[in-house]
Structure formats: C-alpha cells, structure tokens
Structure 1
Amino acid sequence: MNAEPSSPPPVRVVVAAPQPDRVVRAVSNLVAAADRPLDVEVVVYGAGLELVLKGVRDEEAGRLRETGARVVACANTLAGRGVTAGALVPGVDVVPAAVWHLAVRQHEGWALVPVW
C-alpha cells in the first residue's frame, strides 16, 4: 500500500510593518511567489497603523485583506495615538505589544520579514 504524499507544512511568515508604504506590495509579492502552503501575518505598529485605520488608506487595507494575510495591530500604538480598536478596518485583531508578538512568532519558528 502506497501512502499518499502529504503536502508540506505551511511556511509561516510574520511581516513587521512599522511604515504603511510597501507593505501591501511586499505581502502580495510573497503570496504570489509561494510555491507551497503559506501562513502570513502582518503586524502593524508605529506609523504602520495608518494602513489599517478606517478612512485613511482604505483601498490599500482592502488589497491587504485580499491577500489572505492575518493583520494585527499593536495595542501600545493604539494607546499612544489615543484611538481604540473601533478605529480599525474590519478584520484587524489587536495584540498587546508588537515587539513581543514578533519575538514570540520568531520563537515559534515563524520567518520574520521586516518591511521598512
């Protein structure tokens, strides 16, 4: 009896996005180039938060969601800006601290791709 070949485990990539520019393009290129299963998570913090604030870069935020990437925002950045999670476009989750979240993901074996 021959066993069916199993698909490889997904490549797990966490994208650090402290600036809103180039994030959508980088993630779109990553997804398009993938030749195996892929899990992508984008962590926005600092000025990168603009990418997911309602009414700021809605078109880009929509294109980012279309890639299938999970997007999370830094609670520290939200607090520093005096905004709540309600100001984010739909589908964006909040993590307590971007720097800690990125460290944990790397510890879990995720590849870090910084987009400056």
Structure 2
Amino acid sequence: MSKEVWDYIFFKTAPFPKTDISKEKLDKLKEEFEFWYPVDLRVSGKDLVPNHLSYYLYNHVAMWSEREKWPVAVRANGHLLLNSEKMSKSTGNFLTLTQAVDKFSADGKCVLTCLSF
C-alpha cells in the first residue's frame, strides 16, 4: 500500500495509482469508504480524550480540509460516579438501557431516576 493507493481510496479526485492491485479492488475499497464516511459518532472512554480522541479529530482535519469527511460527533463516557465509584458492569452499579427501561420506564424522567438508583 503506497501513499498514492491511499489517496485514490480517500480522495475523489486522486488519479489511479501505479500498483499491482486491480482497479476493481481499489474501487470497491473506495466505495466502502464513501459509504461509511463521515463517521456519525465516535464513542470512547474519558481517559482517551487528551490523546486518542484529540488526535482522531486532528488527523481528520489534517486529511480533509472540507468538513464533509470530519466526524459528526464525538462522545466520551465514564464521567459519572455513583457512591464515589465509577459506574461499570464489573462494580454492579450499572444498568443497560434495556434494564433501565424495564425498571423505570422509557419516559424523560428515567435518566434522573436511573442515576440515583
């Protein structure tokens, strides 16, 4: 994989590169990329904000000057504590969305109620 191959896949106006990879395969990769990009939502842990998630954004801005390929949204989880402990399945103080709806209903008050169980 050369820089020219990646350019062909990622950029609409890049010329077909000199490569042993068939045009059919590269066009399939280009089609897949166009289907999945831009990313609608990237979710990760709060501990990755200062490095991984920041550079995730920097890299997209560096590669595509137009915003059409930039991620639409980035969310970080892990900011909530319950009884001074992180909320996680391993500590047992965590509910899945289905469990929360079953226990508290799906109305707007569920979010506040779920956080204080």
TM-score range, shorter chain: under 0.3
By percentage of residues, which structure has more helix?
A: 2
Q: Which has the higher strand share?
A: 1
Between structure 1 and structure 2, the one with the greater Rg is 2
Structure-2-length-normalised TM-score:
0.25
- Determine which structure has greater relative contact order: mean sequence separation of CA pairs < 8 Å that are 6+ residues apart, divided by chain length: 1
- TM-score normalized with structure 1 length: 0.25
